[in-house]
């Protein structure tokens, strides 16, 4: 039976996503940041709710629709209270909400986000010198959170580059992911340590 080590990486974004849109004042495509404030308009017993984004350059507002002409009775009372109170955590949740992003055809700046990766980070030495056949890395995140697998791996295994990951996937050393894909919550990346050791041996032989 193969010996498997299991690791959990928690991805914790330090900020919310910037959204990209043309700013009417800057007159070009700009990054907009989450102001963490909501705007609520009540009109004939129906409400509109927006999450307010602002241009990173000139602070021009861009209202992202959250609720469109709905009866307040249809909104969960607890949520409605939090909307009225500009609840910051709720503003975070909407910012990562895939329905909000998809329904409004929002272009998200995935590159600009900074995050902490909580969990055991791996060095090349950890992968070569251990008693395991493989290492399973589970990625978890508090938010529905799209970020390139490469960017997460670069932090968790800082010796891995784009070209190296490409080679590792090709050789079946890393599996469960593709190069361009974005991490899904609870995704499992498998690193086959034996194959990695062999690859390193071969590289050494070629050098000799």
Residues that bind Zn ion (CB under 5 A): 23, 25-26, 30, 55, 57-58, 60
Tell me the closest approach of the beta carbon of residue 30 to Zn ion, in angstroms: 5
> Can you say whether the dihedral through the CA atoms of 174, 178, 182, 183 is positive or negative?
negative
Closer residue to Zn ion, CB minimum distance, 6 or 59: 59
Residue corresponding to tokens 């928690």: 10
Closer residue to Zn ion, CB minimum distance, 17 or 33: 33
Closer residue to Zn ion, CB minimum distance, 25 or 98: 25
Sheet of strand 61-70, all strands in order from the earlier edge strand to the far edge: 61-70, 46-55, 28-43, 18-23, 107-109
- The token duo for 96 is 């990562």
Residue corresponding to tokens 């060095």: 123
Tell me the closest approach of the beta carbon of residue 55 to Zn ion, in angstroms: 3
Tell me the closest approach of the beta carbon of residue 17 to Zn ion, in angstroms: 17
Closer residue to Zn ion, CB minimum distance, 25 or 167: 25
Tell me the closest approach of the beta carbon of residue 37 to Zn ion, in angstroms: 17
Closer residue to Zn ion, CB minimum distance, 59 or 120: 59
Length of the chain: 208
Tell me the closest approach of the beta carbon of residue 64 to Zn ion, in angstroms: 16
**56 contacts 18 by C-beta, under 8 angstroms:** yes
- Tell me the backbone φ, ψ of residue 63, rounded to 5 degrees: -90, 120
Residue corresponding to tokens 């390139």: 148
């Amino acid at each position: 039976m193969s010996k498997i080590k299991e690791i959990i990486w928690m991805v914790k974004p330090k900020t919310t996503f910037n959204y990209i849109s043309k700013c009417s004042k800057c007159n070009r495509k700009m990054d907009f940041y989450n102001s963490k404030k909501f705007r609520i308009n009540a009109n004939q017993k129906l409400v509109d709710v927006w999450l307010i984004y602002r241009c990173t350059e000139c602070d021009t507002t861009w209202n992202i629709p959250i609720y469109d002409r709905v009866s307040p009775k249809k909104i969960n009372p607890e949520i409605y209270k939090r909307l009225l109170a500009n609840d910051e955590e709720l503003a975070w949740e909407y910012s990562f909400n895939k329905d909000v992003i998809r329904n409004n055809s929002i272009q998200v700046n995935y590159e600009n986000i900074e995050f902490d990766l909580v969990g055991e980070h791996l060095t090349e030495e950890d992968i070569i010198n251990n008693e395991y056949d493989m290492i399973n890395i589970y990625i978890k995140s508090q938010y529905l959170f799209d970020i390139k697998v490469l960017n997460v791996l670069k932090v968790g295994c800082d010796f891995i580059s784009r070209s190296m990951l490409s080679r590792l996937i090709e050789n079946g050393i890393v599996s469960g992911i593709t190069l361009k894909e974005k991490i899904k919550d609870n995704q499992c990346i498998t690193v086959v340590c034996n194959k990695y050791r062999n690859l390193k041996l071969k590289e050494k032989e070629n050098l000799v």
